[in-house]
Structure 1
Amino acid sequence: MSHLPNGQSALAVALRAVIAGQHLDADASQRALEVIMSGEAPEAQIAGFLTALRMKGETVEEITGAVRAMRARVVPIHVGRDVVLDTCGTGGDGAGTFNISTAVSFVCAAAGVTVAKHGNRAVSSRVGSADVLERLGVRIDLAPEAVVQCITEVGVGFMFAPMHHAALRHAAPTRRALGFRTMLNLLGPMTNPAGATHQLVGIYDPDRLDTVAQVLQRLGTRRAMVVHGDDGLDEVSIAAPTQATVLFDGRTERWVLAPEELGVPRAPLSAVAGGDGAENAALVREVLSGTATGPPTDIVRLNAGCALWVAERVVSVTDGVALATQLLRDGAALAKLDALARLSQELGS
């Protein structure tokens, strides 16, 4: 355990400071997370620290330090590409949509973007990205070198979060017992094992848009779009305008993304609702095949358009939506899914 000269753990010291309403610098936050991930921290201290941070409000410095602690313990993926895109969001919006960002990853791969998809089991959808990919025939439990081979040969690979962030298991019982979102819910999208350089990040809390973008900026992300729909969706919504904090050219800006201004008609969120694993997998496959029409395809086109802009594949989101439409129509996105499923099964056998 990380101890200070007086014999107290860095977590205990940080807990007292946060309870007193003080902000931690990045180093103090990093040391506190290191204690949590060591497995030696008392559950009461973990719960107190996460709760006090939540009540105070986590700062950019505190989240940055926590991300650095997680990145230091990650099981990495070495891709060796200049642009690496991830579409992982925080989850937790409770909207029950189908797996939009998972479908988007295959559209982007079909456009020639290198995609390192980071994900887990169910959070905001009824079925998580890992769950639906399994249903679609993709092995999610591949060793790092096998994931690299998938990314190299297919252009897209999946990294199952628990296999790369094993140290967070020490906080899992506390997180379940607390039953509310904590800083740890924000960390997943910022701790991509492949070191994603470009990210589309959907988050559950509109008040964190600027904070998450600023953390990504400090950590060296080259381009990012952090989004939250006015209807509460942690994706770019087709039912309402979406608030976005965009990181590019070394600065951040606030955008408002209206679907109809980007060539996508509005539709209610009920039109993009998910179901169980089999239903979500069937819907994702139908959208990627180009045979589906209507809101499920539209919301994938919209989010893929944003992701393609983030990945610097197009010069505008509107151009990205047009390219995504073409890739869905001609089946190129489905071909990427099928290729990943085949190769991952070969490598996992």
Structure 2
Amino acid sequence: MTLAPYVAILGRGQGRARSLTMPEAQAAMEVILSGRAEPEAIGALLMLLRMKGETAEEIAGLTRAAREALPPLQGQGSVECVAIDWPSYAAGRTRGQPWFLAAAKLVSQAGFPVLLHGWNSHQMAAASPRAALGDLGIAQAAWGEAPAILARDRIVYVPLETMQPRLMDLLRLRDVLGLRSCINTVLRMLNPAGAPVSLQGVFHPSYRELQRDAALLLGQPALRVLKGGGGEFEHHPAKDITLHGLSDGAPWEGSTGAPVSGHRRLSETGATLAEVWHGARADPFAEAIVTSTAALALAATGLADAAPLARDLWHRRHQANAA
């Protein structure tokens, strides 16, 4: 099997080309991940999809094949299940501190196991998510180690390259092609542990509906998609932003609210994540980023009064295993 039939569908020319169906997109990704596809055909397929604009059916089919190619998560059935899937795949070259990690930590302390997974092109920078994990006591683990750490800590970060190296290779084609591809969207949709709640950040607002509609096709129960800081699921607390997603498996739309006033950028907090988390430096705006983001995540699980709970969790953040 080759990618030629799928490239032909997308590239036949004006009036003849069409989008892939969900089964066709799934079959194309299966060929890619099998290692049988020619690199030229992979590049052609990804760029044709980009030029045309991906459909929900295409994203859903690609995502389904990517999920099925993941190694089995050994021991998953014997540990507390993952409640929240929290992907982190933004380039984030202009963003500041990764405050969303502190929000994820608070959510885990509320009793909701969180699976963070990702890769960031700025990962060597001081403000990268991976560099900040240790400041919050979040373990970084290979895919096979994740269940044990989730059972212990209720939160873990899994690097993409340890979870599925072939997907990492596809993501890195951006360096070859000079453009992002639908792989960035697929990775946000991946939800490798099948968590009932998925939180996804986007940089471009048009992707909110695309990812919602693809998740609907995949049968995702609950989803929140936010145009967040640097493309991550991270709320600007002075902005009332429209959320798109799913609730009980049906399309849902809401707003974030704006708990603080002001016009500061997320990158203008002035303090580091470690300083604020450990109380070495007070920064009310940074705290509002964390607690408002955590509140959105908690609300996605169906909890009422998520905002006061998030603030209470912040004040009790150093109490181990806060309930």
Above 0.5 in TM-score?
A: yes
Q: Residues 68 and 177 (structure 1 numbering): CA distance in 2 closer, same or farther, change over 3 Å?
A: same
- Cα shift at 1:305: 0.3
- Unpaired runs of 5+ residues, structure 2, are none
Aligned to 1:321: 307
- Unpaired runs of 5+ residues, structure 1, are 4-8, 338-349
2:273 aligned with 1:284: yes
Q: Which runs of structure 2 are paired with 1:157-176 in the superposition (5 Å)? A: 157-172=156-171, 174-176=173-175
- Cα shift at 1:288: 3.0
Aligned to 2:210: 211
- Which amino acid is 2:112 matched to? V
TM-score (norm 2): 0.86
- Which amino acid is 2:61 matched to? G
SS in 2 for 1:206: coil
1:56 corresponds, among 37, 52, 56, to 52
Contact 1:89-1:200 within 8 A present in 2 as well: no
Q: Pick 1 or 2: higher relative contact order, CA cutoff 8 A, min separation 6.
A: 1
Answer 1 or 2: which has greater helix percent. 1
Contact 1:198-1:311 within 8 A present in 2 as well: yes
Aligned to 2:250: 251
Q: Residues 328 and 241 (structure 1 numbering): CA distance in 2 closer, same or farther, change over 3 Å?
A: same
1:25 corresponds, among 18, 21, 27, to 21
Q: Percent identity?
A: 26
SS in 1 for 2:223: strand
- Which amino acid is 2:11 matched to? I
Aligned to 1:92: 91
> 1:164 and 1:124 mapped to 2: Cα distance?
17
Name the count of aligned residue pairs.
Answer: 312
Contact 1:119-1:159 within 8 A present in 2 as well: yes
User: Which string of whole-angstrom CA distances, capped at 9 and with x for unpartnered residues, describes residues 45-99 of structure 1?
Assistant: 1111111101111011100110011101112432554661122244135431211
CA RMSD, aligned part only? 2.8
Aligned to 2:129: 129
Aligned to 1:268: 264
Q: Residues 170 and 161 (structure 1 numbering): CA distance in 2 closer, same or farther, change over 3 Å?
A: closer
TM-score (norm 1): 0.80
Aligned to 2:240: 241
> 1:170 and 1:158 mapped to 2: Cα distance?
19
- Cα shift at 1:209: 0.6
> 1:336 and 1:116 mapped to 2: Cα distance?
16
> 2:309 and 2:216 mapped to 1: Cα distance?
27
- Which amino acid is 1:91 matched to? A
SS in 1 for 2:310: helix
2:100 aligned with 1:101: yes
